[in-house]
Amino acid sequence: MKIFLDTADVTSILERFETGLIDGVTTNPSLIRKSGRDPEDVYRELAMAGIPDISMEVVEDMIGEGQRLSGEFPHVSTIKVPCTPEGLKACKVLSDNGVRVNVTLIFNAAQAILSAKAGATYVSPFIGRLDDNSVAGLEVIRSISEVFRVQNVKTQILAASIRDVYKVSRAFWNGAHVVTMPPKIFDGMYKHILTDKGLEIFDADYQATVSRVNKSAYQPPSSIRARVGSDLDSF
Ligand code: E4P
């Protein structure tokens, strides 16, 4: 059950990587554009910070670029290709050469099947974009998960295009191995109004206890003294 961050904002990734709960990062050309940075500077900084798995999308000359990036960023790079005939050709060549590949823009089980046959490490179904088009994204996760289970396929399902916290747990429940999410969704996973309320009460009670208790004045009651006897000093 892995959590990836879906952003190219290095500062925001590193802040959350410190929690020890982040297993990787996914980027795409739109996220890179939004960052306003050179993609390779982003990948380099993430690699230097110890992010173990970084999806880097290739657009032109996918095989050549994939080989180059995996050489430049060994161990941490996952080459991201679209689910097209060209993309899956690149997936086959790269995965045959030991490169991790994430096939992106997956919208049904048929595309996931082809990607798995091409040796993909990950397939990325886009839940939010399916929902936007009146198709239940979580159902697509479920159907890919069932096919992979029945056929004993090792390719992992990486649920993408996540728009709310609820979808994270439901994606895992429906069989996703990885969920990639924007940082604000990751932050939202901690939150529950009853946690805040409960914490407020515990904090107030803790402070009241701290101000009441005087440790140096402590004397055990006679019933405890009688039980412990001469061993009293060892406590
Ligand atoms: C991740 O790999 C995808 O690129 C991303 O989740 C797409 O999300 P969006 O539909 O919110 O753009």
Give the pLDDT of residue 19.
Answer: 98
Nearest CA to ligand 1 atom 6: 161
Whether 182 is in the pocket of ligand 1, judged by its Cβ within 6 Å, is: no
- 99 and 175 belong to one structural domain: yes
Domain residues for the domain of 214 are 193-234
Which pLDDT value is given to residue 235? 72
Tens-place pLDDT, residues 150-183: 999 999 999 999 999 999 999 999 999 999 999 9
> Same domain, yes or no, for 85 and 24?
yes
**What total number of domains does the chain contain?**
2
Long-range contacts of 84-91 (CB under 8 A, 24+ apart): 86/62, 87/62, 88/114, 88/115, 88/118, 89/62, 89/63, 89/118, 90/58, 90/62, 90/63, 90/66, 91/115, 91/118, 91/119, 91/120
Q: What CATH number should be reported for the domain holding residue 172?
A: 3.20.20.70
Which two three-digit tokens encode residue 227?
């039980």
Predicted pLDDT of residue 232: 72
> What is the reported pLDDT for 120?
98
Same domain? For 135 and 79 the reply is yes
Same-domain pairing of 22 and 91: yes
What distance in angstroms lies between residue 37's CA and the mean position of ligand 1's atoms?
18
> What per-residue confidence (pLDDT) applies to 233?
73
137 & 51 share domain: yes
pLDDT for 13 equals 98
Q: Which residues of the chain have pLDDT under 70?
A: none
Bridge partners (DSSP) of residue 4 are: 24, 180
User: What is the residue with the minimal CA distance to atom 9 of ligand 1?
Assistant: 161
**Do 57 and 128 have their domain in common?**
yes
